[in-house]
Amino acid sequence: MEKHSDEENGVEEEPRSLEQKEKRKGKHDKPKPWDDDPNIDHWKIDKFDPSWNDGGMLEVSSFSTLFPQYREKYLQEAWPMVKSSLKEFGVACELNLVEGSMTVSTTRKTRDPYIIIKARDLIKLLSRSIPAPQAIKILDDEMQCDIIKISGMVRNKERFVKRRQHLVGPNSSTLKALEILTGCYILVQGNTVAAMGSFKGLKQVRRIVEECMLNKMHPVYNIKVLMMKKELEKDPALAQENWDRFLPKFKKKNVKQKKVNTKQKKPYTPFPPPQQPSKVREPLINISDRAGFLPLMYRFSSTHVPNNNKVNN
């Protein structure tokens, strides 16, 4: 069959303008009427109802993670508590002491599709030295977790340890202040920082940790800013205003230290240094001026001229 173009059929195509293409490109990014609605809490997570998924899961999903050897004894003691808490959501778990791994998988009783992701986060937190009672809280819908890797942010090991200590502070005072202001549980250990809390709090924790490890801002300054924001939130008149004029501004100041020049750099000369006089041809008489007299040291040769005045017998 012959294909006829639209021009042959008497229909002309209307050329699409650039404006129509641009409008079509971002048609899904249009503002929604509920974006700016003050009565809607966008951070709220609705609790899962098992009646939404009566049929259960069609496929088996599983996750596994390794744990260090020093956690083996603790996990073996706390595993019955972990197993019973996962059983309530219909998730099976297994602790393999030979391979040093933990595995979670869905069963026929599993109703919530997202609970397997929560179970995966649970075994990750357990392997990161978080206590089991605290790690089990991740199974709640309102609790989230974030594991921040800080090992690749600083190359020098001494600087890495020093900046990581800034997050903890003296007697863990800085860490406790961050936990109170952000509402998150924070654990700094090894090359990672594990945090548990709401999405809003985890976002603040990640920003503070990254700024500290990259030497952009000390955690103490971030604590001051968070305290100011807590006070401004109490005033309803300032809810819709910009808070930049109230917040303190910290500028990074690098104090230049004067370097002591211990060695003065000699000017470059392409010619070699002059030849020093030979020590073999030094004068045999050493004259030194001390206390106003000149002692002389003579050298007599082994062969000397005999005295002619002496008469041989």
Q: What's the DSSP call for residue 48?
A: P
pLDDT tens for each residue of 14-40: 445 545 555 556 667 777 777 778 788
Distance separating alpha carbons of residues 91 and 84, to the nearest angstrom: 10
CB 62 within 8 A of CB 104: yes
Q: Count the residues in the chain.
A: 313
Structural domain boundaries enclosing 165: 145-238
| CATH number of the domain residue 161 falls in | 3.30.1370.10
CA nearest 48: which of 108, 126, 105, 118? 118
pLDDT tens for each residue of 194-249: 999 998 899 999 999 999 999 888 888 888 888 888 888 887 777 777 777 777 77
Q: Is residue 34 part of a domain?
A: no
Pick the more confident residue, 260 or 298. 260
- Domain end (from 238, 273, 300): 238
- 150 and 234 share a domain? yes
Neighbouring CB atoms inside 10 A of 295's CB total: 9
Evaluated on CA atoms 219, 224, 225, 227, the torsion sign reads: positive
pLDDT average, residue stretch 146-162: 90
Neighbouring CB atoms inside 10 A of 145's CB total: 21
Q: Is residue 277 part of a domain?
A: no
pLDDT tens for each residue of 53-77: 888 888 899 999 999 999 999 999 9
**Cα–Cα–Cα angle for 294, 299, 304, nearest 5°?**
135
Q: Is residue 152 part of a domain?
A: yes
- 163 and 226 share a domain? yes
- 234 and 155 share a domain? yes
CA nearest 186: which of 237, 130, 132, 105? 130
Burial class (CB in 10 A: 0-12, 13-18, 19+), 54: exposed
Work out how many domains the chain is built from and give that number. 2
pTM over 0.95: no
Q: What is the pLDDT of residue 294?
A: 45
CB 116 within 8 A of CB 104: yes
**Residue percentage of the chain with pLDDT more than 70:** 78
- Domain end (from 122, 141, 160): 141
- φ, ψ of residue 38 to 5 degrees: the values are -70, -15
